[in-house]
Structure 1
Amino acid sequence: MLAGLRQYGNFPLPARADMNDVLAALAREAGWTVEPDGTTYRHSPPPQHQQHLGAFPVRSGESPLTATSLKNCSVKATLDCQQPVVRIDDSLSPASLDSVVIAERDTRSEKYPSTSPMNSVECLEADQLIQDVHSTEHDNDFTGTQYVPVYVKLSTGVINNFCQLADPDGVRQELSHMNSLNVDGVIVDCWWGIVECWNPQKYVWSGYRELFNYIREFKMKIQVVMAFHEYGRTDSADVLISLPNWILEIGKENQDIFFTDREGRRTTEFLSWGIDKERVLNGRTGVE
């Protein structure tokens, strides 16, 4: 709020302004005098109600609507937008301004000697119609906004532990549904524990190749997430994807490849950072 008052209201507020400083600045902007002790008062009484239209400023109001529909409302007076009357005791300080009651004058119910149609119901309805049309145009106008691509993540169990499509027909149906929703593409997890499961540097991609061909048929894009951790052991999901079996075999002989807590418990969910540069995985480092 303070930043907004400084930037847009040009209020010279101190760096550590509190609510009293804000209220005092607003009171000064409204024409009130604020003493150092917080006393707030106004030098002259509020202007009395004028009985003649000549005392009010009048402006020409051009509208895209026809003159017939506005019923001679080309001249718009400010009778309906008078400033609200603020009733404040001279004894009030800025600290108590938050409890001030602001009473708006209902000018439509007041009787003026003029018979001008400026306050007629038709004129008010036309003005409201113009505001509603302009508001709707701005709300629905996305011209110039940046396009945001939408990707949907496929389920984790779409590829089984033997690197095969678990349900080819179900995958086709799911992709067809996504394509009907005009999504840009899909996100696919590519699991280390599936691709290099049985032997080091022996990679099996058959299931992923088949899946990618299905996605290509629907002319959708692919985002691949390389997953080098375990999945499903601590979740309620039916799918369990572990680290490669040959990694787990090495871990039986050298448990230091896994993270260890203070109680000495090991986790096989992922490899420890400590072997990132250590060749303890059949001559390969953790990063390799």
Structure 2
Amino acid sequence: MTRPAHRRVWRVAAAPWDDDLVATGSWERTVDVWSLSRGGHVTGLDTVLDAGGTRLALVSEPEPVVVAGAWTRHGVCGYALDGFRIWQNRTRRNVQQLTALSGGRVAVGYASQPTLVLDAGTGQELASLRGVTTVVALDRRSTLLAGTGWLQMADADLTPVWRRVPLAGFAVLTAAVAPETVAVVEAEEGGSVLRVLDRDGVPRASVTWPGEGIRGVGRDAASGTWVVVRSDLDSHRSVLVRVTDDGAVVDRRPWRPVSGTALVRDGRALVQADDDGVHVLDLADLGLRTLASD
């Protein structure tokens, strides 16, 4: 499948440690794969992906596999980059979230059933996480788990490493990690909140933006700040801000509208999609590079 001149992207998927491949999802079915090293589009796939949730993941090890899910009858499927469907798991419906994990695994979150961990290459079930509704991969060694009203840090094996911390909002949307802190984005009624916690789970700061959604967050190691892309929920105008570990906003600038983001290159870059294409944002100098669509 070739990529047409214009395709609206609503979902970007990659693991934070990936250096090359990124997947983007259109409103339904079509998934495109991009190469950061080659600077452009690699291939397009027809999948079971449908609208809603975060039902797309790209697991790059040991071999690249695109994992896509659906809310209704199709369940979750794994695809090779040539579009061949490697496996399909239809034992459960209402797939809500997919997350690429280290070790060639993928976490599958459902609307009302325990989260499953599958082998991304075969679809084999490896573990079941009762009470967990959201899994965020922070790096190869650590993850963030969330359930109804709580969150906690876990290791690569998804074993909790600190106690549960109450949520400030009603759901965890994304998160990013630094050597001594973790930034967690939560949805709340009519807006969003960015929370900074120490690596042992102690809350450090909280910044609330009523009427705005946080599209992405990453860490600039050089300045020691969090780079946050925010979007007004009504006008869709976006701004980019830098936030310290203490919650102070130290930089603010207008930004292009963003529909989806994913951290890559060990958290040093943020891939973002908008109506004009797919772009790579360097979190240190805020330089933006557009990936070629053909």
TM-score by length of 1: 0.17
Greater percentage in helix: 1
Greater percentage in strand: 2
TM-score by length of 2: 0.17
Structure of greater Rg? 1
